[in-house]
Structure 1
Amino acid sequence: MGFESAVQMGKYMKARGFDWSDEIDNYAPVGTPVEGDEEPAVDVVAEFSSDSPDMMAANVMPGSVLQRYLPILIWMDRHRDQFVALLNTGTESQAQIPRYTVPGQLTTKSVHMASSLAQLVQDFSREKNVRQRDIFEIALLEFFRRHGYAKEVEALLSL
């Protein structure tokens, strides 16, 4: 497969989120339970029955709409930090443009796009003093991160 050694292949697989599993004699995604180690799925709503301490403390009238949604709200409150981080994604300061050093040889790519978008890139480049190449690299890396290629992007940037 083009690897010089098993160690090099191991590093490649680890960078993509896989570890060697002796149980299955193959690579498995990190965090994936091995056969027999599965944890039962947690039903968020079932986790809070109407007689749980959280529900009793809420002092909510039985049968109300609030009672139906209270378990979800309690669960969301427990994971508040994760929700805040998720909601704040994309609201960073406009003046702060991320910078990446992408390893490898430079290559030329021609891309057809609407002239209005090309003008927008040119204007932004001039106004913010950012090279157009950097704009496209940043946009592609952010796109890949948000659409399921985060591990691959991190592996690329760590080369």
Structure 2
Amino acid sequence: MTNQQVNVLENERVQEILQGLTQGSTRDELAEEFGHKNYKSLDMYMRRRNFEWDSEKGIYKLAMEKPELAVIDTSKAHRIIQLIEQQDEPDLQRIAQLMGFDGYKALAAYMGANHYSWSSEQNNYVKQVVVEEPSPQFVPKILSEPTLPILTTNTEEEGLTEYLPLLKLLKNNELRLMNLLQPYGVGCQIPRYTIPGVAKTKTVQMIHSLDQMVTDFAKEKNMTQRDVFEVALIDFFKRYGYERQVELLLK
């Protein structure tokens, strides 16, 4: 047992709460006795003192020690969760303003976009489990057994003839279609481009929410904002008729 755990166990109120549970008091009764709104607030008080609720035994127990070499989450979403956790009754409007949002609705939209949902049990946002679907790929069909040729009537052949120009167009633009369906390859890895030339400063005004999105995206993907704009512009030019110019630029 560490020195920190010993200090926690010596806390008078913690001892009174633990003793109250062993004597048959409920969490709601103890919450009212010690001035908490309900048992959720009591849980939060005990979590801050490194205790967690054991639903099977109906008691609080010391939480496991966290590894010293833990990965520190510095994301904006994690910071929001920390601010909420610090308050028994979180003021979401105030927290939203501190984090640069127009209001709590904008904060909620941001958390939802980052796969967090509000938990009434935790009285905070929790991470959702996201199952990513595999990227669609063109896989050639392998026939294990020979098949007989399909015989068509003259009427069916005439019906297929009208689609031949479309099929030819698709075939001629096969590479471009593949790039549209899988712009960054398997796994959607963001490309990085090395563009020759002299760097030049260009000032562009944009809406605050879009500017914030660029900042957040660059930070979470470990990119510079210049990289974000370069990739976005090159992708835009390739999609809208400047493929040849982009190829010459990147040579």
- Taking structure 2 as the reference length, the TM-score comes to 0.33
Larger radius of gyration: 2
